[in-house]
Structure 1
Amino acid sequence: MKEKNKRNLLPAVLCAMLFLSACGQEQITLEQVLAEQAGQNPTVQVQEKSSIWVHICGAVRYPGIYEMEAGSRIYDVIQAAGGFTEDADTGFHNLAQMVTDEMQVLIPTLEEAKEQGSLRTEITEQSGRININTASAQQLQKLPGIGESKALDIIAYREKYGGFEDIRQIMEVSGIKNAVFEKIEPLITVGK
């Protein structure tokens, strides 16, 4: 009898082991299906955060070079540098502007900003181009082919339509066609 029980016990144990291992596989499959239905990928993905390097100097507590996440704004860099000093011109920059790799951000003091006057709107820090979204009529007249009348038309256009999204849009201003655009194209920016 013992021999008979041993023969019956062995197949029973094997069946139990197969059943348990099959249940485990079924559970994994069920988890994968539920994850897919929920719109999740059941496999682990490692995402690399891209970083950029920004040099901030001037009227901040800790000037220097900072590693920032791509998509950071001037405000974020200022915060990383300990914030403004007491004499900083806090309104000089658009704090919501995104920073780019290798960008330098100079925060002037109130005195320095006063000395520079309206020049800060004329030329962007990186490119040395005239920003057609912020330049005065006088500044626009420094461009070849742009006199007082066309400068005023550019200002009227940007006020009416909320600024230029692309430099080519300047050709929508009355009197500015391809010939003029070709002359001013390397000299202008929309500041984005």
Structure 2
Amino acid sequence: MLDRLRITGCFMCMVLVLGLPGCRSEGTEEVRELDEVRSSQEEAGDNAEEEVQDTEGKDTEETGRRQEMYVHVCGQVQRPGVYRLPAGSRVFEAVEAAGGMCEGADGSYLNQAEALSDGQQLYVPAAGEDIRSASGAKAGAEVKDDGRVDINTAAKEELMTLNGIGEARADSIIKYREEHGGFQSIEELKEVEGIKDGIFNKVKDQIKV
């Protein structure tokens, strides 16, 4: 009888001992699966955060572009040229960016409080200069009341009506005023390639700025 009990007890011990590793292995696998799920969730969260940051970066860049504009300031200003200004800037701010008006400028012609638009050309006339504002025309259009040609606004064909000014010299005049933002005086015409004192003396009474 004792021998049977001993055999039975040994058998039970063997079952328990052999069963424990299986239980431990199953528990370990469950822990590993849980860790993998958590790792996947954390990785997905990180990717989502990166996507949000990228989107925010793009939105900020596009917003920055919308908050800027470019304006061409020319005529009677200290530094004619194209300037980058904040969107919604006014005329007086563009003039200040160009160094302010020259001494002979006609500041009363401009509405200093007017809002500017992207790509606009702002022309500051000289005192006594004739300016006509027509629908669809740019500021600075020429007025032919005294028969003189405004070398800042005249078209190529009109420049060619001047004494000694042919097609090549007319092209040079237009190129010069585009690069320098216009002529500050009629004497500056002598700075144009192909125009020296001889040609200037022929046209000086026919032109104005």
TM band (smaller chain): 0.3 to 0.5
Greater percentage in helix: 2
- TM-score between both structures, scaled by the size of structure 2: 0.37
- TM-score between both structures, scaled by the size of structure 1: 0.39
Pick the structure with greater CA Rg. Answer: 2
